[in-house]
Amino acid sequence: MDVASLFRCPQCHKSELALHSKQMICSACSHSLPSRAGYYDFLSATLDKRVATTSEQKLMESELIARVYERFWRPAFVRVMAGKGAEGLTGGFSGEFFIHKNCLSMDEREGPWLDLSCGPGTFTRAMASASPGSWVVGLDIARSMVEVAATRGRGYDNLVFVRGDAHELPLRSGCMSGVNNSGALHVYDDPEAVFSEILRVLMPGGLFVGSTFSPAKSMVGRLMSQVGGIRRFQPAELRAWLSRIGFADYEEVRLGDAFIFRVRKP
């Protein structure tokens, strides 16, 4: 499969992109998307309408944070936001990814897969290794994150990184077998728009697996949420929300003040 066939043109919105050399070209309107620094940018100067509005969103644009996110920033952030017990329940990233991989049924299903708001590509690379015969797309809106992800993802022949907006995914409808969304739901401006886009790009029976934070039990966790503009979700609220959007078969795993959830597109 030509990986360009998974995407739709950001200019005319037709699903007629094809890969030519190191660029995607739309056969409908001739718009081209060159590969820059190992990724494709679907947010041009005229189309990039979203800006960082919270403290955490602004931090994600930092080159320094992008470089230390994987090893230092994310583990420390999760420890504060999810409580001390969460990391012990998963055993660190390997255990966390094991849960996500099994929730996505990656051993039983073929891709393509989307790692939404992929950051520096930690989950994306693990997904590419777990599903070597399928395309894995890593997407993030922060240029610094995608640049680091593309650099660290060199050598994978089933991996592609793009800069795009979770609220308006540059993917054709019904093309993804599963969508992974780890620890980003709390920073979206409009979660409902993101849920609707995920539902649109999933094929029938496709799975959406995400992780986010539930209401904090500690004062530090509550204060961090308030200062950073971070939204926490009641699991029951999220379940009802996803059901109303059109998802089915909600399941969850509680991990301290965080939880991993799975839903299916009927």
228 C-beta neighbours (distance < 10 Å), count: 18
* Spatial contact of 189 and 165, defined as CB atoms under 8 Å apart: no
Determine phi and psi for 125, rounding to 5 degrees.
-65, -40
Q: To the nearest whole percent, how much of the chain has pLDDT over 70?
A: 80
Kindly report, residue by residue over 34-88, the tens digit of the pLDDT: 888 899 999 864 444 555 555 566 666 777 677 776 776 566 666 665 566 555 5
Question: How confident is the model over 254-264, as a mean pLDDT?
Answer: 91
Closest by CA to 89, choosing from 262, 261, 253, 216, is 253
* pLDDT at residue 68 in the model: 77
Question: How confident is the model over 144-160, as a mean pLDDT?
Answer: 95
Pick from 18-32, 46-60, 167-181: least confident: 46-60
Distance CA 166, CA 11 (A): 17
Distance CA 89, CA 65 (A): 26
Question: How confident is the model over 113-130, as a mean pLDDT?
Answer: 97
* Spatial contact of 84 and 257, defined as CB atoms under 8 Å apart: no
Pick from 56-65, 154-163, 210-219: least confident: 56-65
Q: What is the DSSP string of 196-262?
A: HHHHHHEEEEEEEEEEEEPPPSSHHHHHHHHHHT-----HHHHHHHHHHHT-EEEEEEEETTEEEEE
The mean predicted confidence, pLDDT, of the chain is 86
pTM metric for this prediction = 0.89
Pick from 75-79, 148-152, 198-202: least confident: 75-79
Kindly report, residue by residue over 229-249, the tens digit of the pLDDT: 678 889 999 999 999 999 999
* Spatial contact of 234 and 258, defined as CB atoms under 8 Å apart: no
* Spatial contact of 182 and 120, defined as CB atoms under 8 Å apart: no
Q: What homologous superfamily does CATH list for 37-264?
A: Vaccinia Virus protein VP39 (3.40.50.150)
Angle between helix 93-103 and 122-130 (nearest 10): 60
Cis peptide before 112 (omega within 30 of 0): yes
Stretch(es) of the chain classified as CATH 3.40.50.150: 37-264
Kindly report, residue by residue over 6-22, the tens digit of the pLDDT: 999 998 999 889 998 88
Q: To the nearest whole percent, how much of the chain has pLDDT over 90?
A: 61
* pLDDT at residue 71 in the model: 72
* pLDDT at residue 36 in the model: 83
Lookup: tokens for 31: 């718009």
Distance CA 91, CA 185 (A): 22
